[in-house]
Structure 1
Amino acid sequence: MRSQGSFQRDFWFIVAASVAWGTVGVANQAIYAHTATNALSLAFFRLAIAAPLFLIACLRLLGRRFLSIKLRDLGVMVLMGAMQALYQASYSAAIAYSGVTISTLIALCVAPIIVVLCSTFLMHERPTRSTLLALLCAFFGTILLVVSRTDPQQGNFSLVGIGLALLSATGYAAFILFGRLFTTSYHSVQINFVAFGTGALILLAFALPGGLVATYPTGDWLLLFYLGSIPTALAYGLFQAGMRSVSATAASIITLFEPLTAALLAWLLFHEQLGPFGILGGLLLVGALLLLAYKK
């Protein structure tokens, strides 16, 4: 059984990963300002840059042992890569149909609910009262935060868009749940090398028909390397390591710290106003984190 010290360490690993993910929007926005690229191209390069970084980490930390993966487990890791690609591709497509607001709300808020249901009924991880309260705080906090930052006229209730956003949430939740299965059996970099290598290949297949954008100024290549190394390779490595002693349910809730980070960066860098609802949403998210961090 994991000690409280191990839980605290792993908890903050996942918080750090969520903060890193919150910088993705700012980096993407900077690239869009200089280059006529598209979401699938950016998603592909994120994963394509991260995969060799995971390989280097595997060779340094595990040596040849990184190849010691059971065939059945290898299949699940490949499936994790497919779920990561599904999450990225479906979310990008959902925005085209339903706009940012609806797509983001569904993708971010539905995923923890899927994780809670699957963890409870399939993996027998019974959430505590404090975890459920944290889920409610994070759920409503995310809604307030996202709605306060987005023009309501940007979205519409397209059934296709809603379906794609639900598919995105399902892919994200499945990635978390499958990853939880291997936390004690394999190193986090080992899991992610297989998953992100697979995801990059799948996203490449999606991006090529629509036109893969591979020409960027030097500054944007540096931003792409940042996207692949920090909020992808480092963040997912920390996230996977953090799930050693943090339940899948708690991990999925902690990841909702991502929109709060994005909102704070937008406020600091682009002077976007949060408004009273955004501030309330941020406070609810912080409250959810505190409930999880100091639960008994």
Structure 2
Amino acid sequence: MNSRWTGYLFCTLAMIGVGSTVVASKLIAHGLPPFSATALRFAIAFPVFVAAMKLAGERWPRVSAREALLLTVQAGSGSVGYTVLLLAGLRFTSATNAGVITGSLPAVAALIAVLALRERPGRLTVAAVALASIGVFVCTGGTGSTGGTANAAAVAHAASTLLGNLFIVAAVFCEGLFILLNKRLRTPISPLQMSTLMSGIGLALSLVPALIERPWTKAIDVTAIEGVVYYALVPTVGGFLLWFAGAARIAGAQAGAFTAFVPLSAAVLAALVLHETIGVVQLMGMLCVLVAVALIVCDGMREESARLRPCPQRRERPLPSA
């Protein structure tokens, strides 16, 4: 297998792992409080990342006070905020809905870059943001009863699902903010260093709220703990290693295409593991999100090819004859 196809395989496995976090979070959500589960996740992942840094011969980066604050906000949004909101949302909504909504991350990141960084989006990016918004709206808004007379239980279920979906949308915006803040860092930080920092700072930020939740007073849920261990080791550590090993072998825009596996793997695993039913609403939302990802990738490939295209050399004018 050549290097390019190895990269495709690694990126595919990494994104399937990301999709599986939605299913794992669904198993965790009803057995552990959100901050406690988040703290436990980072308590498991952080020592593994530290060991990986030692094996790779990498040292802690030296950053300014401003960048230390940025890293803390990054960890608070992308590490703690995303995980806590995802877990909170999955107490009320399905893993299939959550998978579709989290799959809209590339479009959400592009939207945040336009609003916060005043970046000028291409037409394909604008179309992608619109389609992803439609996909999220379909999942978020299509939760009402389809019967002629909605009873109180159906209305309550629809309201609960809507609340859960809104938590997931907020989680995706937290992850988009993480991507935005990463562009503001000036000190070069390797992916392994960043993952280690995010795990360590995430553990520090989630520890006090986890203690306030007093998880030791609750009954031990073995399934939830197994879900946290899986989340920490497979998608967090293993996914990191697979993603960056794969992305190093292929173009950046091509790597972005593999985010399409997030909603697909989440839906398939939700059906297989959680026995959820994938309805027409989820399929429509998934289609919108997948097309949005494809448009983002096409726009990225267009920009990448334009950047690599050599500039036409100016013709030298002949000197006037004496």
TM-score, scaled relative to structure 2:
0.65
Residue 185 (structure 1) aligned with residue 188 (structure 2): yes
Map Cα deviations across residues 236-256 of structure 1 (whole Å, 9 max, x no partner).
Answer: 566688699758xx96x9757
Counterpart amino acid of residue 27 in structure 1: A
Task: Figure out how many residues of one structure are paired with residues of the other and give that number.
Answer: 281
Residue 126 (structure 1) aligned with residue 153 (structure 2): no
Q: Is the contact made by 1:50 and 1:232 (CA closer than 8 Å) also made in structure 2?
A: yes
* More deviation, 171-180/123-132: 123-132
Counterpart amino acid of residue 73 in structure 1: E
Percentage of matched positions with identical amino acids: 22
CA distance in 1, matches of 2:88, 2:10: 30
Unmatched 5+ stretches in structure 2: 145-153, 303-322
Q: Of residues 9, 16, 20 in structure 1, which corresponds to 2:17?
A: 20
CA distance in 1, matches of 2:184, 2:251: 12
Q: Is the contact made by 1:11 and 1:293 (CA closer than 8 Å) also made in structure 2?
A: no
Partner of 1:38: 33
Partner of 2:48: 53
Q: How does 1:120-269 map to 2 (within 5 A)?
A: 120=114, 122-123=116-117, 125-145=119-139, 153-156=156-159, 168-182=171-185, 185-213=188-216, 222-236=226-240, 258-269=262-273
Q: Of residues 51, 67, 73 in structure 2, which corresponds to 1:79?
A: 73
1:287 Cα shift?
2.4
Task: Please give the secondary structure, in 1, of the residue aligned with 2:22.
Answer: helix
Partner of 1:289: 293
Map Cα deviations across residues 126-151 of structure 1 (whole Å, 9 max, x no partner).
Answer: 32222222233333234445667897
Quick one: structure 1 residues 15 and 293, their matched pair in 2 at CA, closer, same or farther if it must change by over 3 Å? farther
Quick one: structure 1 residues 245 and 54, their matched pair in 2 at CA, closer, same or farther if it must change by over 3 Å? farther
Quick one: structure 1 residues 121 and 282, their matched pair in 2 at CA, closer, same or farther if it must change by over 3 Å? closer
1:276 Cα shift?
2.4
1:104 Cα shift?
5.4
Map Cα deviations across residues 20-75 of structure 1 (whole Å, 9 max, x no partner).
Answer: 22212333444578xx43333222222221212221222222x2x42232224333
CA distance in 2, matches of 1:28, 1:239: 20
Quick one: structure 1 residues 16 and 177, their matched pair in 2 at CA, closer, same or farther if it must change by over 3 Å? farther
TM-score, scaled relative to structure 1:
0.70
Task: Please give the secondary structure, in 2, of the residue aligned with 1:156.
Answer: helix
1:235 Cα shift?
3.2
Higher fraction of helix: 1
* More deviation, 236-245/120-129: 236-245
Return the index of the structure with the highest Cα Rg.
2
Q: Of residues 268, 273, 296 in structure 1, which corresponds to 2:277?
A: 273
* More deviation, 118-127/66-75: 118-127
Q: Give me the CA root mean square deviation.
A: 4.6
CA distance in 1, matches of 2:49, 2:22: 23
CA distance in 1, matches of 2:76, 2:297: 31
CA distance in 2, matches of 1:147, 1:256: 22
Task: Please give the secondary structure, in 2, of the residue aligned with 1:185.
Answer: coil
CA distance in 2, matches of 1:123, 1:280: 31
Unmatched 5+ stretches in structure 1: none
Quick one: structure 1 residues 146 and 166, their matched pair in 2 at CA, closer, same or farther if it must change by over 3 Å? closer
1:227 Cα shift?
0.9
Map Cα deviations across residues 1-20 of structure 1 (whole Å, 9 max, x no partner).
Answer: xxxx99x9999877654432
